[in-house]
Amino acid sequence: MMMMGHGFSGPLGMGFAMIIHLAFAVLIIMAVIWMFKAVFRGGHHVERQTVAIEILQQRYAKGEITGEEYQRMKNELE
């Protein structure tokens, strides 16, 4: 008897199809979580940058770094 392909049929085919659907759903959930983090991470970046510049100013005021080092580091942070 000749077997013709009918897509995902039989227990193995149905199991494979379920795995593909599950993997697709997991990918979509991961993409949504990534987008959510990317949108709301922006505020924390500005906050960290401000704190870093304040620390840099304190180090410059204490004489721990030169004016040239201060400017270079400040430019890297901005």
31-71, pLDDT tens digit by residue? 998 888 777 765 566 677 888 889 989 999 999 989 999 99
**Phi/psi class of residue 63: alpha, beta or left (left: φ > 0; alpha: ψ in -120 to 50)?**
left
Amino acid at 33: I
Predicted pLDDT of residue 76: 86
pTM: 0.42
Statement: residue 30 has pLDDT above 90: yes
Predicted pLDDT of residue 40: 72
Spatial distance between the Cα atoms of 64 and 56, rounded to a whole number of angstroms: 10
Predicted pLDDT of residue 5: 52
